[in-house]
Amino acid sequence: MLHRLRSLLGLERRSTGAWGELGAMLAVANETAAGIAVNAATALEYAPVLAAVRLIAESVGQLPVHLFERSGDDRRRAEDHPLERLLTCQPAPWVTPFAFKTDLTAALLLHGEAFALVSRASDGRILELVPLPHGAVTVETAPDLVPSYFLTLANGTRRPLERGEVFHLRGLGIFPNRGLSLVQVGRDAIALGIALNRHAAQIMARGARPSGVVTLAGRVSDPVLTRLRESVRTRHAGQSAGDTMILEEGAKFESLTFSSVDIEFQAMREFQVAEVSRIFRVPLSLLSEMSRVTHANAESLGRQFLSLTLLPYLRLWCETLARDLLAEEEQDRFYFEFTTGALEMANLGERIDALCKSVAGGLMTADEARGRENLPPQGGEAARLRFPLNTGTDTGGANV
């Protein structure tokens, strides 16, 4: 059944011809004030946008997401549930969990929404999660605000999708059932950054900014002037810049310093990096702009990235997974959660110190702490909670 479904949708052929034509039409963007059309593809050619998208998408992709089951006041990993293995091992035969989360998050950032096809067995079990290219799915909103989904097949035909066949990851939006593309709403700022980069590249292509001026004592013949000009152009411009200059006919070289215009041009380029930081809500230091980073605020900037940038996307992922993948009767018992410990405790010293304090304070057992480090459990006293003596808590475990 899966073979037939993938063949029908054109996903098995791996052919990008039909999708490429559709993507080319959908990629046409409005002109910006800078005169540059900005879409997802052109925006990624601007290094700060590429850095921001990679930072968020790959950070989400590397964090494991697990399915948990509530049991009274306790909870446990639902390791026997099919969705747990699907999201942690193989969403589809050719898709890894990292690629699945990374690609859909990147599409969410660039287009405002991302889609995956939910392939189900006859009994309703989910068998595959297949990421769909941008533009393959269109959303129509009925008068009662209920969304309807339509999939454009590889042969150009269009068919409706059942609600249970769609995984719809939607970001910030002002219209029902549609997300806003951060690239589109911030296209003027991105276009100005691209324009500044292109201008700098054109200056370099023309031999870069002159480092000085050659003056001659008197009038010289045209052949001498031509030979001197050609010598400077071939030996001291472009890749040959910086070579020792030998002058003739009494010529003198006077070096030039950067003008206020040059300094303002560089400041404008730096400001556009800050604009991208605002659009994607990424700390400026993580876009390699280190001018305002100190030892005192570096750690807080890392925590800010987790709490203000990543956590909203992780919450969106968890709620969308629960809405689109769990049956209605399962949503009261099961829920999804990302494990963010790898980002919260990046280095070994801080991680071990936090785990030791958690064990000593009764927050987790020694075996749970060992599990965080992928070490086997020891059992016995290592499986029991410990509390400090001054807490006066008697749980039947050992006290320290």
Per-residue pLDDT of the chain (400 residues; tens, 9 = 90+): 445 445 545 554 444 444 444 444 444 445 666 678 888 888 998 999 999 999 999 999 999 999 999 877 778 888 899 999 999 999 999 999 999 999 999 999 999 999 999 999 888 889 999 999 988 998 998 888 899 999 988 788 888 999 889 999 999 888 888 888 999 888 888 888 888 888 777 766 665 455 566 676 667 677 777 877 777 777 666 565 656 666 666 677 666 555 545 556 677 788 888 889 899 999 888 887 766 666 556 666 667 888 888 999 999 999 999 999 999 889 889 999 998 876 665 556 677 788 888 888 888 888 888 877 767 788 888 888 888 876 655 444 444 4
Contacts 24+ apart (CB under 8 A), 74-78: 78/334
One-letter amino acid at 141 equals T
Task: List all residues 6 or more positions away from 83 whose beta carbon is below 8 Å from its beta carbon.
Answer: 67, 126, 325, 326
* Residue 366, domain extent: 347-400
Pair 37, 78 in one domain: yes
Q: How far lies 360's CA from each of 240, 349, 352, 399, in Å?
A: 64, 17, 12, 9
Are both 176 and 214 inside the same structural domain? no
- 306 within domain boundaries: no
Residue ending a domain, choose from 141, 158, 187: 187
Is residue 66 in some structural domain?
Answer: yes
**Is 99 in the same domain as 156?**
yes
Q: Do 48 and 105 fall within a single domain?
A: yes
Residue 40 shares a structural domain with residue 166: yes
* 15 and 95 housed in the same domain: yes
- The beta strand positions in 9-109, using DSSP E, are 65-71, 74-77
Q: Which of 92, 65, 74 is nearest to 316 (CA)?
A: 65
Identify whether 228 is part of a domain.
yes
Last residue of a domain, one of 238, 257, 287: 287
**Residue 318 maps to a domain:** no
- 41 and 134 share a domain? yes
Pairing of strands 74-77, 147-152: unpaired
Domain finish residue from 155, 187, 219: 187
pTM score of the predicted model:
0.72
Q: Answer yes or no: do 183 and 281 share one domain.
A: no
Type and span of the H or E element at 108: helix 97-111
Question: What total number of domains does the chain contain?
Answer: 3
In a domain, 122, yes or no: yes
> Residues 223, 227, 228, 230: is their CA dihedral positive or negative?
positive
**Structure tokens belonging to residue 223:** 């052949």
In a domain, 311, yes or no: no
Do residue 129 and residue 214 come from a single domain?
Answer: no
Is there a domain that residue 264 lies in? yes
Q: Which one-letter amino acid corresponds to residue 377?
A: P
Residues 47 and 136 in one domain: yes
84 plus 138 within the same structural domain: yes
Q: Provide the pLDDT for residue 53.
A: 95
195 in a structural domain: no
Q: What is the pLDDT of residue 23?
A: 43
Residue labelled with tokens 């969308």? 320
Cα(370)–Cα(274) distance, rounded to whole angstroms? 41
Find all residues with CB under 8 Å of 307, minimum gap 6, and list them. Answer: none
Quote the pLDDT of residue 108. Answer: 95
Give the per-residue pLDDT at 25.
43
The reply to whether 44 and 153 lie within a common domain is: yes
